[in-house]
Structure 1
Amino acid sequence: MTQSLSPRVEAVFWFLLTATGYFLLASLSLHATKGADNIAAVWPPSGYFLALLLLMPSHARARLSAFAGMASASFAANLWGGVPPLSCIAYTLANACEAAVALWLIRRREVGELSFMVPRAVAGFCLAALGASVVSAAVAWALVEGLTGASADFFLSWLTTVLLGMLIVTPPIVMLARMIGTKAMDNASRAMKAEAAAILTLSGLVTIAAFSQSEFPLTFLPCMAVVAAAYRLGPFGAAAGMLIVTIITSLMTGQGYGPIAAIEEASKVKVLFLQFYLLSLLFTTLPLAAMLIVRQRLAKRLEQSNRWLLQAEAAALVGHWRVDLVGWSIRWSDQAYRIHGLVPGTPVDVNYSVEQYIAEDGVAVRKILEQAVRTGEPFEFQGRIRRADGEIRHVKSHGSIETGRGGRAIAIFGTVQDVTEIVENARILEAARSAAERVANTDMLTGLPNRRHTLAFLEKALEGAREHGAPLAVAIFDIDHFKRINDTHGHAMGDRVIHRVGQRAKAALRDEDMLGRIGGEEFVCILQRASAQAAEIVAERVRKAVETGTAAEDGLPQATVSIGLAVFDGELDIEELLHRADQALYAAKRDGRNRLRMAA
């Protein structure tokens, strides 16, 4: 509110605001205590000055002006109240030390604004006020004791009065000023303002009713009123209600009214009991209000987190569930119900949730959960459930075991995710991959393995034969006079002949053998676990199958094949073995074709 003022005008503003308020509060307090042997229960100027120090700008000019205003007002009020000049100076110095120490202690713990909405900050403020009060009482007692011989009771009286002044007066002033500065009061509805006014008015009326008579000990009524204010209005309600109760109880007790004034003890005992009463009320309501604010904030955060969780679960098709092993009950989130095809809130039990898995998956799920309960280890499983509408869905669950005292399992918490689309996409991708692999490894004309796949298969077979001593043979054959067939009948007929030769040769092989086309009219037979004699029999069967098979086909020209056979003899690579078979093939061609020759 002073940001638009020049530094000099601002300094004058804080001087006048401090001096005026401090003088009025000090004068009223001194006047109110005349009837109680000059013993005050609360010293409001201390709280007022500390509130201004917390609200004003942090630069030195404003604070120096405020301290000057406080010193002038303190000296004048005490002098006007009949206090000797030297004692006025001592009181002023003590009050100045008290404010400086309190501000220093608060700023050490709170770098920014002191918030009465946070329990930790409230506790720090109380400790700072207590420390400052001890210092102030020690300074006042030391100075006054030298002047008038003050007793130890003076130290205790000073400490409690200025402590209550700061604890009771500072919070409502600070909170009210910040509410005005942030226009929080303007944003409040009329109903809220009316409720706040009614609650605080009721607090005052209840306190007047309780302390205007001494026949019944009704000191608990103001406590109830302030607690209600704290519950409905938060820290400001607690602080404002506390201030109202303090003003009324101090004035009425000082004038001899109320249950505390009726105590048959000395005045200082009555004051100490009143201070104890106010402190008890203060330390009950102010922390309670701060904790209520924290609870409200946590409740809002929890509500927001739950809302985000439900949105995230719906977007990811993930729900959560919890099984209470003690009460043997289960709780599902809304998305868990939807995954199972149920309306959220439909009654379900533990057995129902497991019985939704199809038979073979349900057995596995039970075993996994039972093992998790025994070991306490996290678990994961995937299975198929039959929804309420009969649809089969794939779901995946992750979970963990909650343990109680002694490590005993008390609950199972888990998530459930509908992974049907993921499973289906994986199946489609696998089918596509398999199809692509088949295309990449298949000769398109004959449907047989192509050159790349055939040589890779031979590489593995040769490795097995070399490591385990398994028999292995390779037969290479091609179609005799294939160029003549192409030239005479055309390439289309030549392709048909190649296809038919491949099919006839494949039909003549054993199940463990492999036939591949490695180029043009050339084929390779890989004969696994075949001795030389068995390999020769199989290769000859291939030759005869081609010769007789193609001759019987209508419209196809006669075709025969020449075969070169090589049996594995410790070759280091497939090139050596294929080379030996190829040399045998050339020998078969030289000897007249349509025959089989064994490599040396």
Structure 2
Amino acid sequence: MKRSLSPGVETAFWSLLTLAGYALLASLSLHATRGADNIAAIWPPSGYFLALLLLMPARARAASFIAMAVASIAANMLSGTSALVAAAFTVANVAEAGAALWLIRRRVPGDLSFMEPRAVANFCIAVLAAGALSASIAAALLGMLDAASLAGRGLDFFLSWLTTVTLGLLIVAPPIVMLARLIDSRALGNVPRATIAEAVALLIFAAALTVACFSQAHFPATFLPTVAVIAASYRLGPFGAAAGMLIVAIIASWMTGQGFGPVAAIEGSQKGKILFLQFYFITLLFTALPLAALLVVQRRLAKRLEQSNRWLLQAEAAALVGHWRVDLVRWTIQWSDQAYRVHGLEPGEMVGVDYSVEQYLSEDRAAVRAILRQAVQTGEPFEYQGRIVRADGAIRHVKSHGSIERGRGGRAVGIFGTVQDVTETVENARILEAARSAAERVANTDMLTGLPNRRHTLAFLDAALVGARDQGVPLAVAIFDIDHFKRINDDHGHAAGDEVIRRVARRARASLRDEDLVGRFGGEEFVCILQRSSAQAAEIVAERLRSAIEAEGRADEELPPATVSVGLAVYDGEGDIEALLHRADQALYLAKREGRNRLRMAA
């Protein structure tokens, strides 16, 4: 507990709390219920002191142990126990508290929480071990002090002490620790009044049922308090279980000690009655407290699951991803809300297994079926993409990933998958591809003529040369330029010159075969790449090109006539395109020297 006290005052506070509380509880317990060997049926002071040890700061524990010892000796002596026996009992109780605290700190990291099943189990183990140690010490010391009175009853004394002390630790410590931490953390201030009223009513109900059960012996109704404690556990959690158990233990112990109730009416010795009552408490405790802790875990898991599902739905909606599962045994399908939205349906509408596949366009449907069928047969994860027709008639691109669920024997029992609307991604990819293609065309195209530019022409020629060299197919290159083009520009202007270049480009492209290429090299110069053409065939194509340009130039009345000179070179094992182009260029110069408007073949 957090207190703004100086260390000295704080130590004094915990010491006085220990002294007063332990003395009062010990005196009441010894007075109310006694068992064999003058040992109470339940020893609440042990649980009270352990709770204080778990709550107090470490620096206050030594003084509190001293205060506890004083209170224990005083209470035992006031009840008529000799000083030596009282001291022996006190030593056993001190050892029990110290051992329980050490084991709890060792087995439970951090503060002990009765909300965790593992922590509850470790607490019970520590308490049982400490009770066994305490009973052993008490039996040994009492045997040394009064061997005659303990002769033949050593085991009975050990078991009686063990159950009495252990029950005190198990029943009293948990509710005190939980209530103190609730108060210290100010959590009670945030609890609705209706919840507090319900808690009070449940605990009063547990007390009333216990009084009704243990105030009479006509009806063996010891199960009734169990109902109340289970109800408190379910509604209030571990605190309800611990508080209800404490109320039942106090009332049942006191009334049994006064001779009331079904336990007191059992025929037999007082020791047998007390053992039965202790067994009743242990059974009720080990039913209620673990159950309450498990209910807390279940509620936490349910809350986390609810939160995870909420986040999943939000993530699916943001990413346009839904999930689905096909039960191959029952042949049913389940869709998430987003899967319905992807298909243009309202969540919850009835759909069959075949519905989602039938929504794919016919050209995609067969491929989807084949992929799913193969996945079921092989058990491998799958992925496919296609186009579906939504309920509103819109066509959307969707992508699915999934895996196969296998049951016993490796048999496929289900298919789990996701479905994602990737229409925007596909459209964006198409736009990007179109933009890339357009950019590539711009980068490879001469803007004046629309023909491949010098860069593209050289790249095409390099690939054609590799093919000719590796595959042994013929290749020819023709270089031509417009005769007296400077004169056309000077006499008719650059605009007319550009139109002449365009006209030559159109006619040259129309004169070639589909597998051939003509590109503008720069200015009025062009290059033709004639693939799979022998020398004779290449010469025929090049001459056809020259003649067509000459004929169109004469027929065009709006632009000045123009002719071209052509140099042709056939691939002859050149190592690179520069050597082949050089030969064609030499042939072009020869054609120009011999009068222009003619074709010449490189040697």
Query: For the superposition of Structure 1 and Structure 2, which TM-score range results when normalised by the shorter chain?
Result: over 0.9
Q: Counterpart of 1:259 in 2: which secondary structure?
A: helix
Quote the Cα distance in structure 2 between the aligned partners of 1:405 and 1:477.
Answer: 78
SS at 2:266 equivalent: coil
- 1:319–1:416: 8 Å Cα contact kept in structure 2? yes
Q: 1:590 aligns with which of 568, 572, 593?
A: 593
User: How far off is 1:593 after superposition?
Assistant: 0.8
| Contact 1:204–1:248, Cα closer than 8 Å, also in 2 | yes
Q: Is the 8 A contact 1:2 1:10 kept in 2?
A: no
- Deviation of 1:39 after TM superposition, in Å, equals 4.0
State the superposition RMSD in angstroms. Answer: 1.1
**Which aligned pairs between 1:318-357 and structure 2 lie closer than 5 A?**
318-357=321-360
Distance change >3 Å, CA 105–CA 34, structure 1 → 2: closer
Is the CA contact (8 Å cut-off) linking 1:31 and 1:81 kept in structure 2? yes
Partner residue of 1:392 out of 392, 395, 409: 395
Residue among 316, 319, 338 paired with 1:316: 319
Partner residue in 2 for 1:453: 456
| 8 A contact 1:36–1:255 mirrored in 2 | no
Q: Does 1:169 align with 2:172?
A: yes
User: Match for residue 567 of structure 1?
Assistant: 570
Cα separation, 1, equivalents of 2:160 and 2:30 = 14
Could you say what secondary structure the match of 1:474 adopts? strand
Residue in structure 2 matching 1:528, options 507, 527, 531: 531
Which of 215, 218, 222 aligns to 1:212? It is 215
**Conserved 8 A contact 1:35-1:255:** no
Please tell me whether the aligned partners of residues 323 and 330 of structure 1 are also in contact (alpha carbons under 8 angstroms): yes
- Per-residue deviation, 1:521: 0.4
Q: Give 1:35 shift.
A: 7.8
Residue in 1 aligned with 2:91? 93
**1:215 CA drift (Å):** 2.2
CA contact (8 A) 2:36 2:160 kept: no
1:50 corresponds in structure 2 to 50
Aligned to 2:308: 305
Query: What are the residue-to-residue correspondences of 1:54-133 with 2, within 5 Å?
Result: 54-59=54-59, 62-133=60-131
**1:19 aligned residue:** 19
Q: How far off its partner does 1:36 sit? A: 7.0
Q: TM-score, normalised by structure 1?
A: 0.98
- Helix, strand or coil at the partner of 1:593: coil
Distance 1:37 1:258, change over 3 A: farther
Partners of 1:368 and 1:213 lie apart in 2 by: 75
Letter of the 1:40 counterpart: A
> Structure 1 counterpart of 2:78, which letter?
W
8 Å Cα contact 2:229/2:245 also seen in 1? yes
Residue of structure 2 equivalent to 1:30: 30
- Deviations for 1:105-153, whole angstroms, at most 9, x for unmatched residues? 1111223110000000000100000111111111111111111122221
CA-to-partner distance for each residue in 1:180-215, whole Å, 9 max, x for gaps? 111222221121111111111111111111122222
The 5 A counterparts of 1:111-510 are 111-149=109-147, 150=150, 151-510=154-513
Amino acid in structure 1 at the alignment position of 2:228 = A
What's the CA shift string for 1:464-520, capped at 9, x where partnerless?
Answer: 011110100000000111111111111111111111111111111111111000000
Structure 1 segments of 4+ aligned residues over 6 angstroms from their partners: none
Q: 2:19 is matched by which residue type in structure 1? A: A
Residues 564 and 242 of structure 1: is their aligned pair in 2 closer, same or farther, counting only changes over 3 Å? same
Letter paired with 2:437: S
- Structure 1 position 34, deviation (Å): 4.4
Structure 1 position 40, deviation (Å): 2.0
Deviation at 1:230, TM superposition (A): 0.1
**Deviates most, 459-468 or 259-268:** 259-268
Distance 1:208 1:196 in 2: 18
Shift of 1:41: 1.7
The answer to whether the 8 A contact 1:485-1:494 is kept is: yes
Deviation at 1:566, TM superposition (A): 0.5
Deviates more, 1:85-94 or 1:204-213: 204-213
Which amino acid is the alignment partner of residue 175 of structure 1?
Answer: M
Could you tell me which runs of 5 or more consecutive residues in structure 1 were left unpaired when the two chains were aligned: none
Distance 2:138 2:243 in 1: 29
Quote how far apart the aligned CAs of 1:10 are.
Answer: 1.4
> In structure 2, the residue corresponding to 1:484 is in which secondary structure?
helix
Q: Give the aligned residue type for 1:107.
A: R
Letter in 1 for 2:51: A
Tell me if structure 1 keeps the 8 A contact 2:37–2:157. no
Q: Distance in 1 between matches of 2:328 and 2:470?
A: 56
2:2, 2:184 within 8 Å by CA — same for their partners in 1? Answer: no
Aligned residues: 598
Question: For residues 438 and 418 of structure 1, what CA distance do their matches in structure 2 show?
Answer: 32
Give the Cα separation in 1 of the matches to 2:35 and 2:132: 26
Q: Which amino acid in structure 2 is aligned with residue 197 of structure 1?
A: V
